[in-house]
Structure 1
Amino acid sequence: MLTSHPSKRSASQVAPVWIDLVDPSEDERKQAAAALGARLPTRDQISAIELSSRLRSDQEILRLNIPAFVRNEDGQGAMTPLGFVLTPKLLVSLRYADSIAFKHMAEVAGSDSAPHDSIDTFVGIIEAIVNVGADRMEAIASDLSKLTRTVFADSRDQRRQLRGALFKVGSLQRQITQIRAAMLGVSRVVSYLCEVSPPWIDKKHYGQFKTVHADIGSLAEFDQQLSDRLQFLLDAVLGFINNDQNDIMKVLTVITVVTIPPMILAGIWGMNFKSIGEYNWPHGYAFALTMIAISVIVPLLWFKWKRWF
């Protein structure tokens, strides 16, 4: 899909400042390349992880690629690459999934406060990506707090909730990892522009890039806190599960020890030999039942004294 955005909503504005390509067809790629006056990178080229393929400057053309970008910023599905081709007059973005940040920027581009040029548009997209990442981290922190209260709640159905907590921890970890990867790609792009800024990027935009870089640094610290909390929660969940397993093994051990003596007595007195003297006892049956009951009660009292219950 190809979407063209002018700088301002007016009839006199014909040439776009931003062309957004979402999983484009070959014809859409040709249209965007013709408007740009330069070739567009393929998906494999955008996905390349080597730094020379990610960030390239050629006269008045900047090629900025993020190999792993969050798919719709919800942590669901595989990550997709994101590429930018930036010139002083036009910005072309190539992506292969929906994005909340791009949706927000498209709404801004269609309003009266639309960006004046391609550089303003690019800065707005980067800021939107960082803002959405920050909002998603805050949502993850809230989910993590709720999950922590659930795990450490002393409730009867805690054991049943532990399995669900493991799946939730895995989902949160996946979201954090994806946001971290996306923010790392954006950070490298911004750092590159701060260090190797072309002359057609003025001081105002340079200052905005520095601010975005500082924001990403703050998000990295917050991301580390989330990772530490998530690791602690994972250890706690596994610890509770191990305790539950130990309790089960303790019960099975008690049952085994308690049932061994009566089984031995019943096996001895159940043998069919005429020489067994207890056969002739008038109250032999009652005596056997009494001894079996005592052999059960005594181990139970001993385990109770040891506080195994």
Structure 2
Amino acid sequence: MLNVFTLASGRLFQEEIESAQALAHVQPVWVDLESPTPEEKGWITARFGLTIPDNIVDDDLEESARFYEDDAGDLHIRSDFLVHDDDTARNVRVAFILREKLLFSIHAEDLPVFRLLRLRARRTPALIDDAKDVLLKLYDADAEYSADSLEGIYDALEKVSQRVLQSEVNDQTAAEVLAAIARQEDLNGRIRRNVMDTRRAVSFMMRSRMLGAEQFEEARQILRDLDSLDSHTAFLFDKINFLMDATVGFININQNKIIKLFSVASVALLPPTLIASIYGMNFNAMPELQWRFGYPYAIALMVSSVIAPFWYFRRKGWL
């Protein structure tokens, strides 16, 4: 899919391009390619003279290839953007190419940050002045999206805390809690990675001296926002570890209760086992062989030998 965005009075106007002729009649400030076809890449090459490699958004690029300026003066930036829905979280690679007053973005799927910027740019006048503003606003929206995801983790962990700390935790509850904690830990880790990657990209833009005075100050504000998110991710990691330890502790307590029950039972059954083994010998010298109530007496002795240890353990508080 090929979308171009033209700028008028600080507002972005989106137009989906379906032919080379339609692309030839627009003067965009931002060209967005979502899973572009070879034909659409050919339109870009013919119109702007830019060749887009097939592996431009591959995850196996070297670190040195993520931020650089080529011989033609074009800035190349590869950034990871967070995508979070109800079940999964992932980081999607986006390639940016900034050529003079035109920004190209290439990615494999539509991203929430891009949708958020398009919505804001249509509603807010004088939000964007040029292609560099588009890139900065994308990173600003990415920081906000990460902050919103962190708030979601806070809410999810609050529910987990209520289940762990305010109710009895059985094995089924513990399994559900551990699964929920694992999901939030994965999301928190991806947010931390996304924040780190965004910080690197904004720092690269500042070092490249491509920004004006106002844009440079905006970039510094984005970095401050990203720094504030680090403390939240660190706190959430500590909270996740605490809940994980607490849940595992309840699992160990439940297991210890089972082992304790078997230990007490085995100790309590030792006396009747001894009595049964003695009476099972059937020696002639044992008077119970000629006694009419011999075996009922032996059974009663075995039962009483079981009751006495359990009574003693209960009195000691071991049961």
Q: Which residue of 2 aligns with 1:4?
A: 4
Q: TM-score, normalised by structure 2?
A: 0.86
Q: TM-score, normalised by structure 1?
A: 0.89
Among 259, 266, 274, the residue aligned to 2:269: 259
Q: How does 1:215-234 map to 2 (within 5 A)?
A: 215-234=225-244
Q: How does 1:119-158 map to 2 (within 5 A)?
A: 119-155=132-168, 158=170
Q: Which residue of 2 aligns with 1:191?
A: 203
Cα RMSD (Å): 2.5
Identity over aligned pairs, percent: 28
* Uncovered stretches (5+) of structure 2, i.e. residues with no partner: 16-24
The reply to whether residue 239 of structure 1 matches residue 249 of structure 2 is yes
Q: Which amino acid in structure 2 is aligned with residue 221 of structure 1? A: S
1:175-231 C-alpha deviation (Å, 9 max, x unpaired): 111111111111100111122222xx2111111111101111111111111111111
Q: Which residue of 2 aligns with 1:178?
A: 190
Q: Which amino acid in structure 1 is aligned with residue 158 of structure 2? A: S
Deviation at 1:100, TM superposition (A): 1.1
- Secondary structure of the 1:236 match is helix
The reply to whether residue 38 of structure 1 matches residue 50 of structure 2 is yes
Confirm or deny: 8 A CA contact 1:43 1:81 kept in the other structure: no
* Uncovered stretches (5+) of structure 1, i.e. residues with no partner: none
Q: Which amino acid in structure 1 is aligned with residue 185 of structure 2? A: Q
For 2:87 and 2:31, how far apart are their aligned partners in 1? 26
For 1:298 and 1:40, how far apart are their aligned partners in 2? 85
1:92-134 C-alpha deviation (Å, 9 max, x unpaired): 1112233211111122344463633211211111111110010
Bigger shift: 201-210 or 109-118? 109-118
For 2:67 and 2:87, how far apart are their aligned partners in 1? 25
For 2:234 and 2:33, how far apart are their aligned partners in 1? 33
For 1:94 and 1:211, how far apart are their aligned partners in 2? 26
Deviation at 1:37, TM superposition (A): 3.0
| Runs of 4+ deviating beyond 6 Å | none
Deviation at 1:235, TM superposition (A): 1.0
Q: How does 1:55-204 map to 2 (within 5 A)?
A: 55-58=67-70, 60-66=73-79, 68-72=80-84, 76=88, 78-111=90-123, 113=125, 115-155=128-168, 158-198=170-210, 201-204=211-214
Q: Which amino acid in structure 2 is aligned with residue 142 of structure 1? A: D
Confirm or deny: 8 A CA contact 1:72 1:98 kept in the other structure: no
Deviation at 1:241, TM superposition (A): 0.7
For 2:301 and 2:115, how far apart are their aligned partners in 1? 80
Q: How does 1:10-25 map to 2 (within 5 A)?
A: 14-25=26-37
Cα gap change, 1:253 to 1:146, in 2 (>3 Å): same
Cα gap change, 1:120 to 1:279, in 2 (>3 Å): same
Deviation at 1:64, TM superposition (A): 0.6
Q: Which residue of 1 aligns with 2:316?
A: 306
Q: Which amino acid in structure 2 is aligned with residue 193 of structure 1? A: M
For 1:195 and 1:30, how far apart are their aligned partners in 2? 33
- Secondary structure of the 1:296 match is helix
More strand by share: 2
Confirm or deny: 8 A CA contact 1:73 1:133 kept in the other structure: no
1:271-297 C-alpha deviation (Å, 9 max, x unpaired): 455554312123213311221112101
Deviation at 1:36, TM superposition (A): 4.1
Bigger shift: 93-102 or 271-280? 271-280
Q: Which residue of 2 aligns with 1:269?
A: 279
For 2:292 and 2:249, how far apart are their aligned partners in 1? 56
Confirm or deny: 8 A CA contact 1:22 1:95 kept in the other structure: yes
Instruction: Tell me the matched-pair count.
Output: 304
Q: Which amino acid in structure 1 is aligned with residue 302 of structure 2? A: I
Deviation at 1:244, TM superposition (A): 1.0
